[in-house]
Structure 1
């Protein structure tokens, strides 16, 4: 008799244990917040390794806890995860997330104890919601000023600085019983393309890439239980495939050279770097064969996840994907679930609610404090929210008005059809009041440079502020999280 005749078969015609193992290798997103849809219930019941939540799944804290409880009622060891980097990248604003300023501001302050306090607050909040895995912190180094995606999500360009803050973040998160995940291996900071929008390539030679591995090496040494791969091609490492799909990078470099034995999870497969070049289903199969343990299908349409699942099962049936590889991956996921799937039973309260604003203030004031400009007209120029990330509605004008009720302002979130009329209207509304012009990543968005310069010609006394990376302003927030902007507003208002 064959092995199949001796073994109970799952719904896909594979041995039940192999069907369950294949499902362990998937992390799924979904639409809705009030209940778990039936297709997701089936996936969880068959062994789904993880569920990733987004803003679309969040209404308030009580609703999130009901949702995570419902998921675990179906299968107690399903991991519930979320992107939770702090700063302007987060999905839990409506659920009362702690305000922390994001990694770059923390790197500017360079106080690992303060970073640990911020990470502890984020992790404690997750524990109270029943979310037990955070796809953070970012370990990418910010090499290029024209990199469109890492920017203030990074701790900085110095690998030793990034390493000490990664250790602080991971250790604090682990102490709360929450799984952390350093990303995006082996680094996304040397590219000029956002992998959400297309295939990113890092053209640097082999010897230049070693510096990017140091933060990941520090994360591994700190016991990080998960790493996330980058959809980036490194010709010096593997000229044919992005890291997510590369056996050389995931196997030889990560497993052998860095000695990582935790769960390696892919970045989301619907990102265009994978979806447009390979397709999500082929991406899932190739990533798992290359050494990934889990693949994320974050899109809300569960049909895409089912298509990826079916491609993996078909590859197992035909022998294209080795059973041993899936069982190895599923084994790592089971170990992760054994440590983190059940929310901590200790009281998650008691985090330091002031850590985030302290960090933001210290970052903003690190280069000195200019004279206050009370009653100013604030022009806030910033790009439209990134479609693949989250914007919680934070804006400089709201924070400025809270700090100085006499302030007025104009927000501009994209290139306008008639910039001359816009400038004329701003100057007229401002009148004799002080003018503040804030830009965010103006080097990537020339329309901001044009408006800023046109306003400076009309008002040479205008105060320049940067709300992304430093670009010559007298103040820099180092990010657009709520506390980043609040700290800038306080300085402008003289508080």
Structure 2
């Protein structure tokens, strides 16, 4: 009787190689108090990291218990979170420090304040048992119509971005928290959000915004995150996350980065719709990534990515040496950052740094208008981005906290009947100063139409921008973090909270 040779799917890999594959994965999951059994099994086999989201956060004590439970399963498990500050954050319910976001820090342009804000965020993370932060954003806001970077960037000048990156990275490192510069080699020159589709940066090589990433590497940043963006000048065929030319030749070879390179989330449509998450995991690791993020809480997606990598190793499609080198980088990173440095003795941080920076940013635009207490405030803004977890804070709430006599209207997303909204606003604002705030109106024609209709009827109305600064604005908040909106309200009322 003869037996056929085992197929690739039946070949058992050495235990060390199986563990190396798992080290190359970062998994999202659901739950706030218990660790799902499939995640436990992944951790048992060597899972490199987990990424937390708002869905995992109820309050500070709960997060500490959750991170403690995860670390009991595996002490060298990296526990990470997106923690950019401003409107981008998942730890509001856990008492996150209020900082204004990168664009406002760049507008204030005081690297010491940037460092103080980064220190506050990192200290808070450390107090919760989280030791890796997927921040700061190293992208340069290069295209006015870019839909995803915008106020997440420190600015549109590469040198300004670079000096604030250096300040952020140094302050985070001083806390013993791993920072991550993203999204290599830059997402600011696109007109597409890679959460929704494949983005392309058509610029020639010498116009790409690589300088901030060079600055981050020189500053010793331990993590870089890749962009799901095609750069025809570098590789016309594949997005950076899947491109050996970009990840291996450019980042490792030319720029000399020796830290851990992590992919942006594989379920983003730029990857998932064209390649699938599982193929994306295999291709990213082959291209030079050290870890791939699967942020969705459905652990079956993570398992499918894991299995695709295992199968590629069995078939020889993916080189063992590529995975073992990646896993070794992750192991070294975990030795430095996985365990908090004395979490019971986290020193305090400057709780006022964020508001100070937000106020400076508001004043950076020039003279402020005369105060308008008792105004009717119209706040027009798009619905929160589902992947970034901006909480939808509105200017009226911040305004009324310091001027209870104010009234207002918050319009989140395009209204069904703009005419009715205009009539209601004009009626409510009769006899009051009128303030009309927009957020990135150049991207949202409905905001421009509403503002124009209101200004036609009330040419005395004050214009405010809460996204990127717009010409003609009396006040620019430089972002929609709570301290951004508070600083704008203070400037317009002449009061402080």
Q: Could you say which TM-score interval applies, normalised by the shorter chain?
A: over 0.9
Residue 3 of structure 1 aligns with which residue? none
Partner of 1:334: 331
Q: State TM-score, norm by structure 1.
A: 0.97
TM-score w.r.t. structure 2 length?
0.96
CA apart distance, 1:12 = 7.8
Count of equivalent residues: 484
Which residue in the other structure is 1:451 paired with? 450
2:360 equivalent among 344, 359, 362: 362
Cα root mean square deviation, aligned: 1.1
Task: Write out per-residue CA displacement over residues 204-261 of structure 1, whole angstroms, 9 at most, x where no aligned residue.
Answer: 112212xx11100000000000000000000010000000000000011000111000
What does 1:475-490 align with in structure 2 at a 5 Å threshold? 475-490=475-490
CA distance in 1 between counterparts of 2:243 and 2:77 reads: 27
Match runs of 1:31-50 below 5 Å: 31-50=30-49
Question: Secondary structure of 2:67's partner?
Answer: helix
Q: 2:350 aligns with which of 346, 349, 352?
A: 352
Q: Is the 8 A contact 1:12 1:313 kept in 2?
A: no
Q: Could you say which residue in structure 2 is the equivalent of 1:6?
A: none
- Distance, in Å, in 2 between the alignment partners of 1:287 and 1:95 is 33
Residue 281 (structure 2) pairs with residue 284 (structure 1) = yes
Where in structure 1 are there 5+ consecutive unaligned residues? 1-10
Question: What does residue 306 of structure 2 align with?
Answer: 309
- Counterpart CA distance in 1 for 2:348 and 2:115 is 14
Q: Distance in 2 between matches of 1:185 and 1:415?
A: 33
Structure 1 residue 393: deviation in Å?
4.0
Q: Does 1:126 align with 2:125?
A: yes
Distance 1:112 1:45, change over 3 A: same
- What residue number does 2:202 align with? 203
Is the Cα–Cα contact under 8 Å of residues 97 and 351 in structure 2 kept in the other structure? yes
Cα distance between partner residues in 2 of 1:214 and 1:365 = 28
User: Which residue number corresponds to residue 239 of structure 1?
Assistant: 236
1:139 aligns to 2:138 (yes or no): yes
Rounded to whole Å, the distance in 1 between the matches of 2:236 and 2:351 is 47
Moved more, 451-460 or 390-399: 390-399
> Structure 2: how far apart are the matches of 1:456 and 1:229?
43
CA distance in 1: counterparts of 2:316 and 2:67, whole angstroms: 36
Q: Does 1:494 align with 2:494?
A: yes
Does the alignment pair 1:271 with 2:268? yes
- Map of 2:105 onto structure 1: 106
Separation in 2, partners of 1:416, 1:249? 43
Deviations 1:4-52 (Å, cap 9, x if unpaired)?
A: xxxxxxx982110000000000000011111111111111111100000
Q: Is residue 2:320 matched to residue 1:323?
A: yes
Structure 2 residues without counterparts, runs of 5 or longer? 1-9
Alpha carbons of structure 1 residues 134 and 12: separation in structure 2 relative to 1, 3 Å: farther
Q: CA deviation at 1:116?
A: 0.3
Output the CA distance in 1 between the equivalents of 2:115 and 2:206: 32
Answer whether contact 2:87 2:481 (CA < 8 A) is retained.
Answer: yes
Does 259-268 or 415-424 show the bigger shift? 415-424
1:88-126 Cα deviation digits (max 9, x unpaired): 000000000000001110101111111000000000000
Cα distance in 1 for partners of 2:123, 2:453 equals 46
